[in-house]
Amino acid sequence: MLCQECGKNKATVHLTRIKNNEKTEIYLCEECAQKKGELNLAQDTLSLHNFLTGFLGGGQPQQTSQTGDLVGVSDCPRCGLSYNEFREKGRLGCVQCYENFEEQLTPLIKRIHGREEHRGKVPARTGGLIRKKREIEKLREEMEKAVREENFEEAARIRDDIRKMEKELEG
């Protein structure tokens, strides 16, 4: 048998890997096997995904139909991804998947991030209205801080700004 890596030399090294209950066997020649072991950069993505699929597969066995799909969870209408495929790979297929699997994703996302709602950047063009709302929220926080620090003039100024922005939002 020839080395699966270079396809030139005779394979003398036999590696067996078990990942997600799937066994893969690799046959390599001495040189390629060494090369594979040569100061490999650690892969964070790999461990992260293992971790995630562990998350998804763990816990209570879910009720499945004969085909193995989760009962009551239909495939994503846009990209066709099934919930089972997501559970296996830990990857979603498209924007629509987030809506389609929202019920299943919500607790998972909370477990991963410890939080449920985005508070960061809002893109200028795609998120015009949301951006305004966020700015107001941020100003509110600043106003409360100013009040706490008994900096009332500043607080009043921020309050006026907020009112102005809220009017803009309504109009």
Partner 1 sequence: MPLDKRVKNEQSKWMQGKGPMSDVVISSRARLARNLAQFSFPSREDGKQLHQVRDKIRETLKGLQYKLDFLQMEELPELEKRALVERHLISIDHATQGPKKGLAIDKDQMISIMVNEEDHLRIQVLFPGMQLLDALRLVDEVDDRLEEKLEYAFQEKWGFLTCCPTNLGTGLRVSVMVHLPGLNMTGRLQQTLQLVTRLGLAVRGLYGEGSESAGNLFQLSNQTSLGLREEEIIDNISGVIDQVVEREREARQYLVKEREMDIKDRVWRAYGTLSYAQKISSEEAVSLLSDLKLGIDLGIIKEMDPAILSQLMVFIRPATLQRINNRELNELERDIKRAELIKKKMVGGG
For the segment 116-145, give every residue that binds partner 1 (CB under 8 A): 116-127, 130
**Least distance to partner 1, CB of residue 152, Å:** 26
DSSP secondary structure of 87-156: HHH----SHHHHHHTHHHHHHHHHHHHS--S--S---TTTTHHHHHHHHHHHHHHHHHHHHHTT-HHHHH
CA dist 99 and 35 (Å) reads: 44
**Least distance to partner 1, CB of residue 68, Å:** 20
**Least distance to partner 1, CB of residue 137, Å:** 11
Residue 15 in the binding site for partner 1 (CB under 8 A) = no
Task: Give the binding-site size for partner 1 (rule: CB under 8 A).
Answer: 46
Tokens 């030399």 appear where?
9
List Cβ neighbours of 30 (8 Å cut-off, separation of 6 or more): 9, 12, 13
**Which position among 4, 9, 26, 31 is part of the footprint of partner 1 (CB under 8 A)?**
31
Residue 114 in the binding site for partner 1 (CB under 8 A) = yes
**Which position among 43, 60, 63, 66 is part of the footprint of partner 1 (CB under 8 A)?**
43
Residue 24 in the binding site for partner 1 (CB under 8 A) = no
Query: Backbone phi, then psi, for 25, in 5-degree steps?
Result: -115, 135
For the segment 49-108, give every residue that binds partner 1 (CB under 8 A): 49, 52, 78-81, 90-95, 98, 105, 108
- 37, with CB counted inside 10 A (0-12, 13-18, 19+), is exposed
Applying CB under 8 A, the residues found at the interface with partner 1 are 31, 34-35, 38-45, 47-49, 52, 78-81, 90-95, 98, 105, 108-109, 112-127, 130
